[in-house]
Structure 1
Amino acid sequence: MSQSGNRQPVWVMTTLLLAGAALRLFGLNNLSPPGITHDEVANWLIDRSILAGEHAIYFTRAYGHEAGFHYLQSGLVALLGDNILALRLPAAFCGLLGMAVTFALSRKLFGKNVALMAAGLLAVLFWPVFYGRLALRAISLPLTSGLSAYFWWQGWEWRGEDTGHSQRRFTLAGFFAGLSLHTYLAARAVPIFYALWLAYLAIFHWRDFKQRWRGIVIFLLMFAAVAAPLIIFLQTNPGAEFRISEVDAPLQALRSGNWQPVLENGLKLLGMFGFVGTPLWREGVSSAPVFEPIVAVLFYIGLLLCLWRWRRPRYAFLLIWLGTAVSPSLVTINAPSHIRSILVLPVLTLIPAIVMHSSGQLSTLFRHLSTRSSRILLLTIFLFYAARTSVLQFQTWPNGGDVPFVWQAAFTEMADYLDGHTDLTAAAIAGWSPSTMDSPTMTLLRQNDDLPLSHFDPQEGTLILPDAEPVVVIRPSDLPLDPVWEKQLQLWGAEIEQDGRFTRYALPKQPAIELANPVDVTFGEEIKLLGYEWVNERALLLVWRVTAVPTASRQQFIHSLAADGSQLADTYRFDAPDPQGIWFPHWQPDDLILQHLTPPALDEATQLRLGWFDPATCTPEPCQNLRTGDGAKFVLLPME
């Protein structure tokens, strides 16, 4: 009988891990999420830089990234290739390992029954499942911090004569605490937690603290040693984390003596477990609380229980962990933020699990809740949350709010269309970021990377027609073409078809375009001006042909000039400088680039100055223009 009891956690935990794996792995490749975000694409770009030999403690691109998760992710990319599955599997693995850590930590603190309840709820709860399906580094923080807590308690509670055993556990606790700082920005709460936790132990449990002082010193030294490279880098590069300044308005208000934003955030964070959740769809189902009413009540009762028993270290541990874990969201905007509070996860389900377990123990008092009915109740809660998470993850969230836009669902459908049409020889893609994120997005989404693609932004009045038969242009249906080019495609007899979230245009071949003013000027041996024409005296049509793929970003300038040659106004098109240094070639040889634009200050202008330059050369030196065949930096177009 005892052997069966010993085996019980093994098969139960195995079942829970399988359930958790099913929710985290099913449809991971674009079922939910319905595509890929720019944040995930940026992660891939960092991974590719690692595989190319660029190594760092902290990557400053994409608003700044700690390096730890990227080395794990780049390993999967090297093994499985450049695809979404390779990017997201590390997050799923971290989520599943986080379940195991929650089980181990909970068992250490409250026994195997509480541990199974906590791990079971964590397996099927929407919050951890959601972040276990995204190619983002945040989910690695609960894993490393949870391991640190587990080994801390192993060292703290060791009662044997072998003090080396305890010290080795404290060493591991310090190692994983330091490693957690290399995962995600919210890990800045980890040293705050340990500072408060050690202060609590020193004040209220001095005798035990004093007996373990060597292990605690070893823990602190290891913590500092592992964290030191990152701390040194951030101290010597104060501008590396500029993203913080964009979201820390409540903290700045607090520093100026205004407590209201932080207090309001505190109420929101307290309420997110049972009342109203995150306001952002990109962090989950907007406004959905973490728990439904039954478990929410158990969670809040668990908090009260921890407060009642705060002098017992394991209960104080939960309170201090929870309080410090939500502090990053407490002092930033858009509270309650699930991603900035993700440090909560190792103990999140442990708190209601304590109350669930206690309800069975109290059955003799209430005399209407038997052990068997307790198990039925727990199984019902588990199945309910598995069903709830399935509905939220695969039905509600993918179609809610701005999720289809942020996760580029239209691009996913466009990639499927291109992969399914092997007869195509080229295509042009309309998007919002043609020179930065659109090209790598399509690389990750497509199975066939041999098809050459050109990218353009129709909001600039631009249309690209590739040199192919047929000529195919596709765009997200909620990103319309310039009306002039929409009408012109119809006049050329284009076949126009809307398919799901994207619209397709097809012409048999590139049309012959004749403008009123033909020109033959090539800039930098890369792009040739074929002609221009004025429409309604205020709009200008330009036609270009790509003669070679640009080797760097190219920006177009148009200056309106007065009769005396002075500059009245200017306008710019195409590749504006990107602060993160991201740029990808997005034109193909022999592409036709059509422009419809309205230059500024036309009422006073007598001619236009038109040319191209490399925006990367503009600081601190003057911009380097692309020269024409005769060495000129620009051409002049008379007003007609």
Structure 2
Amino acid sequence: MNRAKIRQPTWVMTFLLLAGAALRLFGLNNISPPGVTHDEVANWLIDRSILAGEHAIYFTRAYGHEAGFHYLQTAFVGLIGDNILALRLPAAFCGLLGIAVTFALTRKLFGKNVALMAAGLLAVLFWPVFYGRLALRAILLPLVAGLSAYFWWQAWQADARAAKSFALAGLFAGLSLHTYMAARAVPIFYALWLTYLAIFHWREVKQRWQGVVLFGVMFAAVAAPLVIYLQTNPSAEFRISEVDAPLQALRSGDWQPVLQNGLKLLGMFGFVGTPLWREGVPSAPVFEPVVAILFYAGLLLCLWRWRQPRYAFLLIWLATSVSPSLVTINAPSYIRSILILPVLTVLPALLMHSLGQLSTLLRHLSTRSSKILLLTIFLFYAARTSVLQFQTWPNGGDVPFVWQAAFTEMADYLDGRSDLTTAAIAGWSPSTMDSPTMTLLRQNDDLPLSHFDPQEGTLILPAARPAVVIRPSDLPLDPVWETQLQLWGSEVEQDGRFTRYALPKQPAIELANPMDVAFGEEIKLLGYEWVNDRELLLTWRVTAVPTAPRQQFIHSLDANGSQLADTYRFDAPDPQGIWFPHWQPGDLILQHLTPPALGEATRLRLGWFDSTTCTPGPCQNLQTVDGLAFVLLEVE
């Protein structure tokens, strides 16, 4: 046999993997995606906890995470450091290995030519490229499950090494459950697949029964720790209850939501895209019309030849892969259907190959016409994915907001200002995700930052010279403080997606009612003033970095001292207990607010407490120097 022909798949696969690598690695550090999501930041926090010695089979943070991808990602963080590239490289490599697994699996089932076509299309298709660029665990599922399928077919087709291959198939099937929630479809697939084989190919099953049992034992053994944990901790997966409305409707006898989802899922390959920008481009289905027709024709071909195990395998895999999206909201969901990736491009590749066999011009893959056709499809999808990934998606819908593009630009600005000693950052989640987000995005972590939420009527002015405040341009400051910054002579400049204010120094603020009341050793009340018909201005000085979440309470009291109403502000941690210190010593905290029930109130009771002490309670208040848990302010 001609050695060049033997080496041909190697050279072609090398080219395909290089093309796939270019699409997955170029601009991975904040070109596309344009920043970092809270989900990616949450992943990093779990990785840091692993490096700190916290180990688990299932992490309950961030709505619950299977542990598999985190240990892989943690290795990259430990080697490369705390940055976006370290978080996303594991996903890119999983995506590239997924191309190789699709080639190996398809070659087992349908031969070299179909395998090269399927791998080539998967290398440049937007869906797998997109998830190969995010620091999320889902992309590990198709890789591990695809390896399970590959070893299954290796065992099924060969007598030698059958036991070892069946064991490896079970091992990877079990490991797949440790990757992502949608892996719950894997045991459903194998249950249906073994049922099919038992009914229609019982003789072959009897010949391999020991291997099948070994597969099942290995599968169960590897999956068991996670299954036992989730069974004994049912509240760990509360996220499922937030998205399973179609499943609940089905259980109550209402088929309509599931049927509607089924139509959407069937149409996503050529007619409709995902409804969420965070999962892709809503206007772009998986395939454009030509390859979509080939996909649907390949589906019909599998239905026609369902008695052959390899075609039935594709059908059952496709059906079970989309089942998580079928019974949840926001269908078609690409991330919940991600298990489909190992076989997604096999169906159009089957039709390409079949057409080549029927045509005298396209009879062999090596003919010029066939190569031109395949190269044209390959280049078209590479160009389509490039446009979608680097132009359409980063600027579309809520992508700049979800991926915190403004924070990315703010971090670049701060890294370029070597003269700054501190700065205040406006954001939507100052006590939880803003601080670690900026830690990931910045190169210079030595610059201390203070974070605040302007939607609460708050402004922080750092004590440094100059006093610099930065906010996303689509997150305005409270109008009172916006006006005051201009009156204080701040330089205001909009730069891309963010706006910055620079004061020569922290201004001296004189309110009508000056005070000097320290709460603990962390924060001091400097004064208050009533303005604009009972709107309250408060000024605080941070004296030390808080050691725990500090939440402010304001109680409106009547003439008898009875509480009429209350309001709470600042640092309540999220349900997962995430909180980060985000005030620096010397910061001025300015508040503009309207206390409740002022029509009947004569005084306000004002103080701070540690919100982590309120369960089971009572809350522990910060004490004043006089040993009081609050101060009283007169209502004017």
Tell me how far 1:365 sits from its aligned partner: 9.8
- SS state at 1:593 partner: strand
2:566 is matched with: 570
Q: Which of 324, 336, 339 matches 1:340?
A: 336
- SS state at 2:9 partner: helix
Distance in 1 separating the partners of 2:525 and 2:324: 53
Q: Which of 474, 479, 486 matches 1:478?
A: 474
2:29 is matched with: 29
Tell me how far 1:578 sits from its aligned partner: 1.3
2:196 is matched with: 200
2:154 is matched with: 154
Q: State how 1:254-265 maps to structure 2 within 5 Å.
A: 254-265=250-261
Tell me how far 1:367 sits from its aligned partner: 9.5
> Match for 1:595: what amino acid?
Q
> Match for 1:58: what amino acid?
Y
1:359 is matched with: 355
Q: State how 1:401-480 maps to structure 2 within 5 Å.
A: 401-480=397-476
Distance in 2 separating the partners of 1:515 and 1:274: 64
2:502 is matched with: 506
> Match for 1:466: what amino acid?
P
CA contact (8 A) 2:355 2:362 kept: no
Gaps of at least 5 residues in structure 2 are: none
> Match for 1:155: what amino acid?
A
What fraction of aligned residue pairs are identical, expressed as a percent?
A: 86
Distance in 1 separating the partners of 2:375 and 2:171: 37
> Match for 1:568: what amino acid?
L
Q: Describe the superposition over 1:494-513 as per-residue Cα deviations: whole angstroms up to 9, x where unpaired.
A: 00000000000000000000
Q: Does 1:378 align with 2:391?
A: no
Q: State how 1:95-174 maps to structure 2 within 5 Å.
A: 95-159=95-159, 162=160, 165-174=161-170
Q: Hey, which bits of structure 1, 4+ residues long, moved more than 3 A?
A: 364-371
Aligned-pair Cα RMSD in Å: 1.2
Tell me how far 1:182 sits from its aligned partner: 0.2
2:172 is matched with: 176
Gaps of at least 5 residues in structure 1 are: none
Q: Which of 270, 276, 279 matches 1:274?
A: 270
Q: Describe the superposition over 1:468-514 as per-residue Cα deviations: whole angstroms up to 9, x where unpaired.
A: 00000000000000000000000001000000000000000000001
Distance 1:583 1:139, change over 3 A: same
2:92 is matched with: 92
CA contact (8 A) 1:363 1:371 kept: no
2:18 is matched with: 18
Tell me how far 1:546 sits from its aligned partner: 0.3
> Match for 2:139: what amino acid?
I
2:309 is matched with: 313
Q: Describe the superposition over 1:85-110 as per-residue Cα deviations: whole angstroms up to 9, x where unpaired.
A: 00000000000000000000000000
Tell me how far 1:537 sits from its aligned partner: 3.1
CA contact (8 A) 1:360 1:371 kept: no
Paired residues in the alignment total: 636
Structure 1 length-normalised TM: 0.98
Tell me how far 1:621 sits from its aligned partner: 1.6
Tell me how far 1:625 sits from its aligned partner: 0.6
1:635 is matched with: 631
Q: Describe the superposition over 1:427-470 as per-residue Cα deviations: whole angstroms up to 9, x where unpaired.
A: 00000000000000000000000001000000000000001000
Distance in 2 separating the partners of 1:626 and 1:225: 51
1:45 is matched with: 45
- SS state at 2:285 partner: coil
Distance in 1 separating the partners of 2:353 and 2:317: 21
2:587 is matched with: 591
Q: Does 1:581 align with 2:577?
A: yes
1:625 is matched with: 621
1:73 is matched with: 73
Tell me how far 1:368 sits from its aligned partner: 13
- SS state at 2:134 partner: coil
Distance in 2 separating the partners of 1:370 and 1:318: 27
Q: Describe the superposition over 1:217-254 as per-residue Cα deviations: whole angstroms up to 9, x where unpaired.
A: 00000000000000000000010000000000000000
- SS state at 2:54 partner: coil
CA contact (8 A) 2:35 2:408 kept: yes
CA contact (8 A) 2:432 2:573 kept: no
Distance 1:290 1:517, change over 3 A: same
Distance in 2 separating the partners of 1:622 and 1:351: 62
Q: Does 1:232 align with 2:228?
A: yes
CA contact (8 A) 2:356 2:363 kept: no
CA contact (8 A) 1:558 1:609 kept: yes
- SS state at 2:235 partner: coil
> Match for 2:50: what amino acid?
I
Tell me how far 1:332 sits from its aligned partner: 0.2
CA contact (8 A) 1:430 1:476 kept: yes
Q: Describe the superposition over 1:65-94 as per-residue Cα deviations: whole angstroms up to 9, x where unpaired.
A: 000000000000000000000000000000
- SS state at 1:139 partner: helix
Distance in 2 separating the partners of 1:393 and 1:275: 19
- SS state at 2:275 partner: coil
Distance in 2 separating the partners of 1:5 and 1:18: 20
- SS state at 2:393 partner: helix
2:54 is matched with: 54
CA contact (8 A) 2:357 2:364 kept: no
Distance in 1 separating the partners of 2:365 and 2:49: 58
Q: Which of 526, 533, 536 matches 1:530?
A: 526
Distance 1:371 1:359, change over 3 A: farther
> Match for 2:156: what amino acid?
W
Q: Does 1:398 align with 2:394?
A: yes
Q: State how 1:278-297 maps to structure 2 within 5 Å.
A: 278-297=274-293
Tell me how far 1:639 sits from its aligned partner: 1.1
Q: Describe the superposition over 1:284-332 as per-residue Cα deviations: whole angstroms up to 9, x where unpaired.
A: 0113100001100000000000000000000000000000000000000
2:247 is matched with: 251
Distance 1:354 1:458, change over 3 A: same
Distance in 1 separating the partners of 2:302 and 2:283: 27
> Match for 1:230: what amino acid?
L
Tell me how far 1:26 sits from its aligned partner: 0.2
Tell me how far 1:385 sits from its aligned partner: 0.2
Distance in 2 separating the partners of 1:431 and 1:526: 22
- SS state at 2:394 partner: helix
Distance 1:476 1:24, change over 3 A: same
Distance in 1 separating the partners of 2:299 and 2:564: 67
Distance in 1 separating the partners of 2:383 and 2:220: 43
- SS state at 1:135 partner: coil
- SS state at 1:239 partner: helix
> Match for 2:294: what amino acid?
L
Distance in 2 separating the partners of 1:639 and 1:434: 30
Distance in 2 separating the partners of 1:536 and 1:403: 38
> Match for 1:276: what amino acid?
V
> Match for 1:303: what amino acid?
L
Distance 1:195 1:85, change over 3 A: same
Q: Which of 214, 227, 240 matches 1:218?
A: 214
Distance in 2 separating the partners of 1:210 and 1:288: 46
> Match for 1:72: what amino acid?
L
Distance 1:527 1:370, change over 3 A: closer
CA contact (8 A) 1:515 1:531 kept: yes
Distance in 2 separating the partners of 1:367 and 1:234: 53
Distance in 2 separating the partners of 1:273 and 1:507: 55
2:5 is matched with: 5
Tell me how far 1:372 sits from its aligned partner: 2.3
